[in-house]
Amino acid sequence: MTYENILVAEEEGIAVITFNRPKALNALNSNLLKELSQAVDAVAANSGIRVLVLTGAGEKAFVAGADIKELAGLSALQAKLFAKKGQDVINKLCALPIPVIAAVNGYALGGGTEMALACDFIYASENASMGLPETNLGLIPGFGGTQRLARLIGPNQAKEMIYTGKIIAAAQARELGLVNQVFPAEELMDEVMATARAMVSKGRVSLRAAKEAVNNGLDTDLSTGLKIEQDGFALCMVSEDAQEGTRAFIEKRKAVFKGRLA
């Protein structure tokens, strides 16, 4: 499928979606969100894709935020529908049963930070910066930022970032636990792809079960979370991947996972 606002590539089980509006610093508008939703659906339907990477075109931005020109004229109802559209596609991204990595290669502001928060973890370049500066416009984050940031770094840190609208450098984002790793800009994608390839080599069933266990467990108490883990472990145990993995360990060879779910 041909897109106007994103690029989609696939190689060795890794899909890369690139936000491709570099003249607008990859700002999110309705058309981009629609295309991203379609692309995520295509990834979900492709059993050959084991990992998804999100990044931005150009050297300046991952996503610099929502397109302010589009926001400026919205009524209250239109604004609610725009926020819902953004939340829907981000929720769809979160629900993917495969690992998703954000490769933040520059500005990730507002909707850009919210898009990165939807991924399983974030790698950033040294020149990257992140923040939720919507209060500078008299607004609040609308694509899930008030909820996901607080869950990731704690409510106090999240409130400070949101209330002040401050923008933080990649190094500080790592200190807060918002970013996993920081690399020189020229090394970012190589490091992201190396991590993606390492995950592709694992059992597809186990990665799916691990993601479900972590994500679903976060929204419940420890006792219920442990039961979720038990169920995931048991289902993995009877999978073709687990049978291959345990057999390969006993036979002292490298496992060759097929990744079939049935």
Task: Provide the annotated active-site residues.
Answer: 114, 134
The amino acid present at 162, given as its one-letter code, is: I
- Give the integer Cα–Cα distance in Å for 8 and 175: 31
Edge-first strand order for the sheet with 14-19 is 6-11, 14-19, 51-56, 100-104, 121-125, 181-183
Q: Other CB atoms closer than 10 Å to residue 121's CB: what's the count?
A: 14
Residue 124 identity (one-letter amino acid): A
Between CA 175 and CA 255 the distance in angstroms is 36
| Residue-by-residue DSSP string for the chain | ---SSEEEEEETTEEEEEE--GGGTT-B-HHHHHHHHHHHHHHHH-TT--EEEEEESSSSEEE--B-HHHHTT--HHHHHHHHHHHHHHHHHHHT-SS-EEEEE-SEEETHHHHHHHTSSEEEEETT-EEE-GGGGGT----SSHHHHHHHHH-HHHHHHHHHHT-EEEHHHHHHHTS-SEEE-GGGHHHHHHHHHHHHHTS-HHHHHHHHHHHHHHHTS-HHHHHHHHHHHHHHHHTSHHHHHHHHHHHTTS---------
